[in-house]
Every structure is written in C-alpha cells, then in structure tokens.
Amino acid sequence: MQSPNREATLAQWIAQEDAMRARLAGPGSLSMAEVSALSPSEFFDGIGNGELPSPPIGTLMDFIPIEWSAGLFVFQGTPDSRHYNPLGSVHGGYAATLLDSCMGCAIHTQLKKGQGYTTLDLRISYVRALTGASGPVRAEGKIVHLGRSTALAEGRIYDVDGRLYATGSTTCMILEARG
C-alpha cells in the first residue's frame, strides 16, 4: 500500500501539471530578437501564462515547465514506451534532454535582458533506469555560478518518492546581444 504522503504528492504533481497544460499555448518558437527584447521573467511568465508559444521540444518529449524563479527551473514529464530504447527502458537521451533544459533555463532566469546562452558541455550521471512505471518525474536545475561569460548549473531528476534517477551539470556560455 502506498503512503498517504506519496499519494498527496502525486496528486499535487498531477494537479500542477494539469493546470500548466491548460495554460500553455501551442508549440512554437520566437526569433532571437524577440527573446532578447524580453526579460527572463517576461519570457518564462509569458510561456507559463500562454501568451508566448510553448517550446516545441516539450511537445516532442512530453514534458512541461512547472516552476521557475531566480536561479531555479523545474520541468515535469512522465516517460513512457515512446521514449524507450531497444532494451526496454527509457533512452538516456530523455533524461539528458530534461537535465539540459532545466539547467539551461535556470541559467536563463538570471540573465540580463538581451543576453542569451548556449550549452558548452553537459555531464550526466545515470543512477537508475527510467521506465513507464517510474511515473511522473521532475527535473530540477539550479545555478551554481553566474559569471560575465560563463555560467554553471547542476540538476537532478527525481520521482514523487524522492528517488534519484540522474544528475547532471553544465557549463553555458553567456552570449551578449548583438548590435
């Protein structure tokens, strides 16, 4: 039998996901000029309020933004057989994509208007296999360091029971607005 705390957490996660899915606009992209004209909070709040298109990668991989604040970003997804490799577990690219996304977005939350970023390196450590039975998982990214030209972030993927599936770290290059 599952614990009441687990059931409450699972219900909360599902409710948060349903509420966010109801607000998100369809997938699409903005130009670099359009993104650069927005502050990070305008950009992410615009996505979260359905005023800006949702990222197409979220539709492809079936994960959505759940929470963001300065230096923190959380995505949620539920892996299933669409994400499987030939060995019957979720392909490592699913976890890598979630981690790259949450860590990069955590960095983005702290950039100045007009700045951008790109991933220079991505390191992933897989702790246990994701499967369709894993249920919803969260990918949480946090900034470790934000400098003038580079930023570092770390991330982790965990389930409603707090089981760790993967950790990651990234170095991103900070890009200044052109012109």
CA torsion through residues 46, 49, 168, 83, sign: negative
What pTM did the predictor assign?
Answer: 0.95
What pLDDT is attached to residue 2? Answer: 58
**Per-residue confidence of the chain (179 residues) as pLDDT tens digits?**
556 799 999 999 999 999 999 999 999 999 988 998 999 999 999 999 999 999 999 999 999 999 999 999 999 999 999 999 999 999 999 999 999 999 999 999 999 999 999 999 999 999 999 999 999 999 999 999 999 999 999 999 999 999 999 999 999 999 987 65
∠ CA 54-84-127, rounded to 5°: 90
Residue with token string 């300065």: 70
Between the alpha carbon of residue 140 and those of residues 37, 59, 96, 126, the distances in Å are: 26, 19, 12, 15
What pLDDT is attached to residue 177? Answer: 72
What pLDDT is attached to residue 90? Answer: 96
Between the alpha carbon of residue 83 and those of residues 59, 63, 88, 94, the distances in Å are: 13, 12, 9, 7
What pLDDT is attached to residue 3? Answer: 64
CA distance 73 to 28: 20
